[in-house]
Homo-oligomer: A and B are copies of this chain.
């Protein structure tokens, strides 16, 4: 069932312990705490996260399947490096997929999902005024997550969530201009209006603009 708990600051998403460790390791890779190319010794991580090798190895398999770790049989797990060009590439790929996702979502969204999107957008409007950057990042992610889910294509949803996850942590520490929040709100408004009007092509265009500008903002 959908909910908007993500608006809460200390929301942990009902994650299991294993999911939290998975995220922690992934973040360590993306933020450079774990150096690209370096070998991951299972016992070290077991000690760090206070668990035995059995569940830890499952987590490593998952991260490897997501592409942040390379697993070489009998040799170990190695950190995959993400270069600046990779990040640019991910923005570019995202700008190919995101508009199509929005278009499909407008065609396929359910009543319930739309209500959720509407409610979230009103929160966005409200919190933009307060200027709480952290909360806004959270809501923006939630807004996108509802759209990703509403396109009703699991693989596309997962691909976009993955790219967003990578971009989010590689972007860590970036300074945003003072008009960042209002600018992004207006881009989102254009997308939301397309949902309200049930206009897939308008949504595609608005999404393209938003994705493209997101890419430029990084420069």
Contact = CB atoms under 8 A, between A and B. Distances in A.
Interface residues of A, number: 31
A56 to B, nearest CB: 11
Contacts of A183: none
A32 interface: no
A100 interface: yes
Interface in A152-200: 153-156, 158-159, 162-163, 166
Contacts of A62: 61-62, 64-65
A37 interface: no
A51 interface: no
Interface stretch (A4-12, A38-46, A89-97, A139-147): A89-97
Nearest to A81: B154
A153 B86 contact: yes
A155 B67 contact: yes
Interface in A58-104: 58-59, 61-62, 64-67, 73, 80, 86, 89-90, 92-93, 96-97, 100, 104
A93 B89 contact: no
Nearest to A104: B89
Contacts of A100: 92-93, 96
Contact of A93 (B67, B73, B155): B155
Contact of A16 (B73, B96, B162): B73
30 contacts: A16-B73, A54-B54, A57-B58, A59-B61, A61-B61, A61-B62, A62-B62, A62-B64, A62-B65, A65-B65, A67-B154, A67-B155, A67-B158, A80-B154, A86-B153, A86-B154, A89-B153, A89-B155, A89-B156, A90-B155, A92-B100, A93-B97, A93-B100, A93-B153, A93-B155, A96-B97, A97-B97, A155-B162, A155-B163, A159-B159
Interface of A: 16, 54, 57-59, 61-62, 64-67, 73, 80, 86, 89-90, 92-93, 96-97, 100, 104, 153-156, 158-159, 162-163, 166
